[in-house]
Copies of this chain bind each other. A is one copy, B any other.
Amino acid sequence: MEASTLRNTFIFSLLSICSISSSTTTSHSHHHHPLDPLTPQEFTLVQTIITNSYHNSNPNNLTFQYVGLDEPNKPTLLSWLSTLKTTTPPPRRAFVITRLNKQTHEITVDLSTSSIISDHIYSGHGYPLFTVEEQTTASELPMTYPPFLESVKKRGLNLSDVVCSTYSVGWYGEEKSARILRILCFYTEGTVNLYVRPVEGVTLVVDLDEMKITQYSDRFTVPMAKAGGTEYRAAKQKPPFGPKLKGVATVQPDGSGIEIAGHSIRWANWAFHLGFDVRAGPIISLASIYDLEKKTFRRVMYRGYISEMFVPYMEPTEEWYYKTFFDVGEFGFGLSAVSLEPMKDCPAHAVFMDGYYAGQDGKPVKISNVFCIFEQHAGNVLWRHTETGIPGEVIREVRPEVSLVVRMVSTVGNYDYIIDWEFKPTGSIKVGVGLTGILEVKGVSYTHTDQIKEDGHGTLVADNTIGVYHDHFLTFHLDLDVDGIGRLRTRTLCYGTPWDFIMSLAKKIFR
Residues of chain A touching chain B, judged by Cβ–Cβ distance below 8 Å, are 1-7, 9-10, 163, 165, 186, 188, 192-194, 196, 225-230, 232-234, 239-257, 268-269, 290, 292-293, 338, 341, 343-347, 349-350, 374-381, 383-391, 393, 395-400, 402, 405, 409, 411, 413-414, 416, 418, 425, 434-439, 441, 447-448, 460-463, 465, 467
Contacts and interface: CB of A to CB of B under 8 A. Distances in A.
Contacts of A409: 384, 386
Contacts of A256: 246
Contacts of A441: 6
Contacts of A391: 163
Given A374-B379, A438-B6, A413 B389 contact: yes
Contacts of A232: 7, 385, 397
Contacts of A463: 1, 3
Contact of A10 (B226, B413, B436): B436
28 contacts: A2-B229, A4-B229, A6-B230, A6-B439, A6-B441, A163-B390, A192-B387, A232-B397, A234-B397, A245-B425, A247-B253, A247-B254, A248-B250, A250-B377, A251-B251, A344-B381, A344-B398, A344-B400, A345-B381, A345-B398, A374-B379, A377-B378, A378-B378, A380-B434, A384-B418, A384-B437, A385-B438, A388-B411
A227 B7 CA distance: 13
A12 B141 CA distance: 39
Contacts of A377: 248, 250, 347, 378
A188 B390 contact: yes
A292 B398 contact: no
A251 B249 contact: yes
A438 to B, nearest CB: 6
A346 B379 contact: yes
Given A6-B438, A246-B257, A418 B381 contact: yes
Nearest to A9: B439
Contact of A416 (B254, B292, B386, B438): B386
Contacts of A225: 3
A385 B390 CA distance: 55
A245 to B, nearest CB: 6
A6 to B, nearest CB: 5
- Name the residue among A248, A250, A343 with the largest chain B CB count within 10 angstroms: A248
Q: Which 3 A-B pairs have the closest CB atoms?
A: A4-B229, A3-B462, A378-B378
A257 B247 CA distance: 9
Contacts of A247: 252-254
A437 B253 CA distance: 31
A119 to B, nearest CB: 34
